[in-house]
Structure 1
C-alpha cells in the first residue's frame, strides 16, 4: 500500500491563538508518528489569521524536535518570496539537527495577497520567470561544494535535503519532470488539472541522480468520523473557510454547523464543491472506499492528507480512523 502523509495548515480555530494552533500541530505530529504516517508537512502562508505556519522553517524545527522518526518538511516554501541562499541555510540547519528527516517542498505562488507580497519584498513579475533558476541555485547550495564556488550555505553544503516541486498547474509538473524531482500536486484545492499534470509529469520524466522514476504525491482532503453525518458536519468548517477565502474575507477556522443552508447560495456551493471535489468525507467505510477509488484513478505514489477540523480532538480522531483504513487497504492489497 502506498504511504500516507499529513499536510497540516496549522489552522487557528475561531477564539484561539496562533500559539494554541502550533501546540495542537505538535500534538498532532506526535500522534501521526505513532499511527505510522510517513511525513508531516507544513505550508507557508502570510497575512492569514487562520493559519499559524507563516514562519514555516521555524515550525518545522518545532515539530521535528517533538518527534523521532516521521519526516518533517514544507508543503511548501514559496521560493520566490525568499533568496535561495536563505532557504538553503534554514533547511541545511534543520537537516543538520534532524538528519535524514527533512523535506523541502517548493512552490512558486506568493501564498498571500498582493499587498503582503509587496511587504515580503517580492518582485511582482511573472512568478515563473526566475523559479527554475532559483530551484537550481538552491539545489547547488545543498549539494557538494563545487570548484571555484565562493558562496556557500553553512549549514547546507552537502546536506542533500530532498527537493520536491509543488504545483496546481502544468508548469511545475513539467519542471519536476525535466529536473527528475518528485512532484506534489495540490488536488486538495485545485483538482482541475490533476490528471493532466500527472500525465505530463510521468510522460516527460527524466531520471536524475536523486530519482530514477516518477514519484507523484497528491493532496487530498479527508475528514473521517464515526458516522457519515458527523464527518459531513465537521467538514463544514473547511467549506466555510474556503468560501471566506475565495470571497476575500479569510479569517480563523469557523466552528462546524449542522447545515450550510442559509450560509451560502447554490452558486457558492457549486464553486466550493468543485474546488474541494478531491475530498473524502464520512465514516470509516466511506473513507476506505473513497481513498481506494482515488488511488485507483490516479495511481498516486503517495497521498498527503489534510483535515481542516475545528476541534483538535476530532482532528486527531479523524487521522486515527484514516490510519486504520490505511492498514485495511494495505491488508487488502497484500491479499
Structure 2
C-alpha cells in the first residue's frame, strides 16, 4: 500500500508526526495551512506516513479534532498514508471511532492508519469534560480495543454495526510510552509504535517485551515496530541548537503546568529555566531520542538510534517555530534517504 516514491534511510522508511503546533502570535487556521504545506512537501520527498496526535486543552496544539484534520490532510495529498498517532481511545465511544475511521478509509482507500493510545491526552478535568464520567479509564483499554476490532470485522458480533466501518481494512497500531501497550500489542499481534520522543528511558525495555511476547495474528505474522524521535536539523549546528529552544520552552511550560503556544527561539535559554527545570527537560528530551544538529551530526545520531532500537520505521517530530525552518529540516532529512 506504500507509494512507489517511498524512500528509506539506511534501509527503513521515515515518517512524520505532526502535533499541528500553534506558534505564538498565530492561530489554528495558520497551523492547519502549515500542516498541509508540510504534508505535501514530505510526500514529494519520500516520507512514508503522516500522523497527527490527539491532545486537548493545549493552547499550542491544534489537532484536538484528530479525525477531522486527518481527512483534511488526506484530501490535500495523493498517496502518502495519513493517520492518527494517536487517538486516545478512552476518550471516545468505540463505535464513533469505528465510524469516523471507516468514513476516512472509504474516502481515501488504502491510505488511513489508526494508532491508538490509552492515555487521556489531557488532565483529569479535561478528561471529565470529554467523557462526562471517569468511570471508563485506561484499564478498560483492552476491552475497547476488542470492541473496535469487532466493528471493523467482516462479520461483527452483536446488533450494533459501524457503517461505514464493517469489513474495512483499517490498520490498527498500538501506541505506548510504557510496557502496558507493548504487552497488549504483542498479545494481539498488532504493530507497535513507542513514544521514544518523550519517554526515552523505557524505549528498549518496551521494544524487547513486545518482540519476545509477540503472537502472530491474521493482520501481522511478525513484530512490526516504529519509534518516535525528535529531530531538528539546520545547515549549521548553531542554528539547529537555537531552533531547538522552542521545543525546550514547550516542555518547560508543561513542567510548570502552564502549557502555552509554541514560543520563538531564544538566544540564552539559561536565563529562563532553573537548574532543576533544565534537568527535567533534558531527561525528557534525552540526547538519544532528541537529535539536534547539522546534517552530518543528525545523520550519524539517527543511524545510531536506529541501530540501537532495531526499529522497522522511525516517525519524526520536529517542533520548530518558523515554518520555513521546519520545512528545511525535513528536506535535509529527505536528502539523507536513499
TM-score range for the pair, normalised by the shorter chain length: over 0.9
Whether the 8 Å contact between 2:89 and 2:118 is mirrored in structure 1 is yes
Q: TM-score normalized by structure 1?
A: 0.96
Corresponding residue for residue 118 of structure 1: 128
1:253 counterpart SS class: coil
1:310 has 2:321 as partner: yes
Tell me how far apart the structure 1 counterparts of residues 267 and 315 of structure 2 sit (CA, whole Å). 27
Any stretches of 5+ residues in structure 2 without a counterpart? 1-10
Change (3 A) 1:269 1:286: same
Corresponding residue for residue 48 of structure 1: 58
1:282 has 2:293 as partner: yes
Corresponding residue for residue 64 of structure 1: 74
2:269 counterpart SS class: coil
Corresponding residue for residue 103 of structure 2: 93
Tell me how far apart the structure 1 counterparts of residues 133 and 207 of structure 2 sit (CA, whole Å). 30
1:242 has 2:273 as partner: no
Tell me how far apart the structure 1 counterparts of residues 155 and 56 of structure 2 sit (CA, whole Å). 33
Change (3 A) 1:162 1:214: same
Whether the 8 Å contact between 1:256 and 1:310 is mirrored in structure 2 is yes
Tell me how far apart the structure 2 counterparts of residues 276 and 316 of structure 1 sit (CA, whole Å). 21
Tell me how far apart the structure 2 counterparts of residues 171 and 311 of structure 1 sit (CA, whole Å). 36
Tell me how far apart the structure 2 counterparts of residues 98 and 155 of structure 1 sit (CA, whole Å). 13
Corresponding residue for residue 176 of structure 2: 167
Residue 301 of structure 1 is aligned with which of 312, 328, 331?
312
Tell me how far apart the structure 1 counterparts of residues 139 and 246 of structure 2 sit (CA, whole Å). 36
Give the alignment's Cα RMSD to 1 decimal: 1.0
2:119 counterpart SS class: coil
Corresponding residue for residue 325 of structure 1: 336
- How far does the alpha carbon of each residue in 1:272-294 deviate from its partner, in whole angstroms, 9 at most, with x for none? 11101111101110110010100
Residue 226 of structure 1 is aligned with which of 232, 235, 251?
235
Tell me how far apart the structure 2 counterparts of residues 100 and 21 of structure 1 sit (CA, whole Å). 26
Shift of 1:150: 1.7
Shift of 1:122: 5.3
Shift of 1:124: 2.7
Tell me how far apart the structure 1 counterparts of residues 111 and 297 of structure 2 sit (CA, whole Å). 32
Whether the 8 Å contact between 1:288 and 1:326 is mirrored in structure 2 is no
Whether the 8 Å contact between 1:92 and 1:157 is mirrored in structure 2 is yes
Corresponding residue for residue 265 of structure 1: 274
2:99 counterpart SS class: helix
Tell me how far apart the structure 2 counterparts of residues 236 and 263 of structure 1 sit (CA, whole Å). 10
Whether the 8 Å contact between 1:44 and 1:55 is mirrored in structure 2 is yes
Q: How many residues are paired up?
A: 326
Whether the 8 Å contact between 2:53 and 2:66 is mirrored in structure 1 is yes
Corresponding residue for residue 34 of structure 1: 44
Which aligned pairs between 1:78-157 and structure 2 lie closer than 5 A? 78-121=88-131, 123-125=133-135, 127-146=137-156, 149-157=158-166
